[in-house]
């Protein structure tokens, strides 16, 4: 367990139990595939941020549990669908549902998990902001993914395009997670809006770090092949920076835009990107978002959970997978 989650270890165990209970069904295939996903691990970052956000006002675990589980189910659903789209056979070093049961089952499992999250969210009819935020977030997540697919192999993308996309596909759910725990406990705007700003900045930094790790991480730690974004034609921040600054930008354009790349071409593209200073540039933007996140925390009451959220922001920068 991550260090800054230790104060909520018992609560996270309850979230884990809630998740296990939610995916149990008389249908053995649904139970087996859903349990496989749960057992594949994951940081449980979204439910943890939900719990930490709730600690700022009238914390009530029973109110938070369905929401925390729903947030993780939404995240898991997107991962299953991503694995189908990306034809991914491993995630976190373990076989994906797509690899073990095929595309059809994986697609329906993703939809099933999302539907389960809706059932949990329906319990919050006394707090309509929760369903509104998660509905808006889900729509935007789909828009971000569609934009990413539509822009595959397009070397004309710029920083603005990239930030628009990662806000929708990643940052909005992390922001919602941090915000809505406090909302569920009855917190005012003076608490849940700074939490949203914190979560948004952390989410942006998290996705940029993911995109950096796709090129420089240890493949064993990542649990999936390095360079998979490049192979799929996904234009990430290091690519955008390298296309702008590298002396070999024309060769890089040719490699990035090529739909089918062999291993040698993939390594050549990564070498051009890493030697251009694009990784360092990308890390500078990560640091700026982490600074924004910590500035938002200063607007919140000075409680122990504020330090945990600050440590969570620092983790985004230093993580290896």
Q: Is residue 152 over pLDDT 70?
A: yes
For residue 48, how many C-alpha atoms fall within 13 Å in the half-sphere facing its CB? 21
pLDDT attached to residue 90: 79
**pTM of the shown model:** 0.94
pLDDT attached to residue 97: 87
| Tens digit of each residue's pLDDT (9 = 90 or more) over 262-321 | 999 999 999 999 999 999 999 999 999 999 999 999 999 999 999 999 999 998 888 766
Return the number of other C-beta atoms located less than 10 Å from residue 129's C-beta: 13
Task: Tell me the two tokens of residue 194.
Answer: 């700074």
pLDDT bucket at 24, cuts 50 / 70 / 90: confident
Mean pLDDT of 215-222: 74
Backbone φ, ψ for residue 95 (5° rounding):
-60, 140
pLDDT attached to residue 180: 97
Task: Tell me the two tokens of residue 291.
Answer: 């600074």
**Chain mean pLDDT for the chain:** 92
pLDDT bucket at 1, cuts 50 / 70 / 90: low
pLDDT attached to residue 83: 84
Mean pLDDT of 154-167: 95
Sign of the alpha-carbon dihedral angle for 169, 10, 61, 186: negative
| Tens digit of each residue's pLDDT (9 = 90 or more) over 50-64 | 999 999 999 999 999
pLDDT bucket at 205, cuts 50 / 70 / 90: very high
Most confident of 36-50, 110-124, 224-238: 110-124
pLDDT attached to residue 289: 98
How many Å apart are CA 113 and CA 222, to the nearest integer? 24
Q: Is residue 141 over pLDDT 70?
A: yes
Task: Tell me the two tokens of residue 66.
Answer: 């369905």
HEC sequence for the chain: CCHHHHHHHHHHHHHHHHHHHHHCCCCHHHHHHHHHHHHCCCCCHHHHHHHHHHCCCCCCHHHHHHHHHHHHHHHHHHHHHHHHHHCCCEECCEECHHHHHCHHHHHHHHHHHHHHHHHHHHHHCCCHHHHHHHHHHHHHHHHHHHHHHHCCCCCCCCHHHHHHHHHHHHHHHHHHHHHHHHHHCCCCHHHHHHHHHHHHHHHHHHHHHHHHHHHHCCHHHHCCCCCHHHHHCCCCHHHHHHHHHCCCHHHHHHHHHCCCCCHHHHHHHHHHHHHCCHHHHHHHHHHHHHHHHHHHHCCCCCCHHHHHHHHHHHHHHHCCC
Percentage above 70 pLDDT, the chain: 97
| Tens digit of each residue's pLDDT (9 = 90 or more) over 99-131 | 889 889 999 999 999 999 999 999 999 999 999
Cβ contact 204:76 at 8 Å: no
Mean pLDDT of 185-208: 97
Return the number of other C-beta atoms located less than 10 Å from residue 13's C-beta: 11
How many Å apart are CA 68 and CA 258, to the nearest integer? 41
């Amino acid at each position: 367990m991550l260090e800054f989650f230790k104060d909520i270890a018992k609560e996270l165990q309850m979230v884990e139990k809630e998740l296990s209970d939610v995916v149990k069904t008389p249908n053995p295939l649904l139970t087996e595939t859903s349990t496989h996903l749960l057992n594949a691990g994951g940081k449980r970052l979204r439910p943890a941020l939900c719990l930490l956000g709730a600690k700022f006002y009238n914390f009530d675990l029973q109110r938070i549990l369905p929401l925390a589980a729903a947030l993780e189910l939404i995240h898991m659903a997107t991962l299953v669908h991503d694995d189908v789209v990306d034809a991914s056979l491993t995630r976190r070093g373990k076989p994906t549902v797509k690899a073990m049961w095929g595309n059809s089952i994986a697609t329906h499992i993703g939809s099933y998990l999302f539907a389960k999250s809706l059932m949990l969210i329906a319990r919050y009819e006394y707090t309509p902001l929760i369903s509104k935020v998660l509905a808006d977030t889900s729509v935007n997540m789909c828009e971000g993914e569609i934009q990413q697919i539509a822009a595959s192999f397009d070397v004309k993308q710029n920083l603005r395009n990239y930030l628009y996309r990662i806000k929708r596909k990643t940052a909005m759910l992390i922001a919602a997670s941090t915000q809505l725990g406090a909302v569920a406990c009855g917190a005012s705007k003076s608490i849940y809006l700074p939490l949203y700003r914190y979560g948004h900045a952390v989410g942006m930094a998290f996705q940029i770090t993911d995109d950096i790790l796709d090129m420089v991480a240890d493949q064993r730690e990542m649990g999936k092949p390095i360079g998979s974004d490049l192979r799929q034609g996904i234009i990430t921040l290091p690519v955008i920076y390298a296309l702008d600054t590298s002396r070999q930008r024309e060769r890089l354009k040719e490699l990035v835009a090529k739909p089918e790349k062999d291993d040698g071409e993939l390594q050549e593209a990564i070498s051009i990107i890493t030697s251009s200073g694009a990784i360092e540039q990308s890390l500078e933007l990560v640091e700026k978002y982490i600074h924004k996140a910590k500035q938002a925390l200063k607007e919140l009451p000075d409680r122990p959970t504020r330090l945990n959220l600050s440590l969570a922001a620092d983790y985004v920068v230093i993580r290896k997978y």
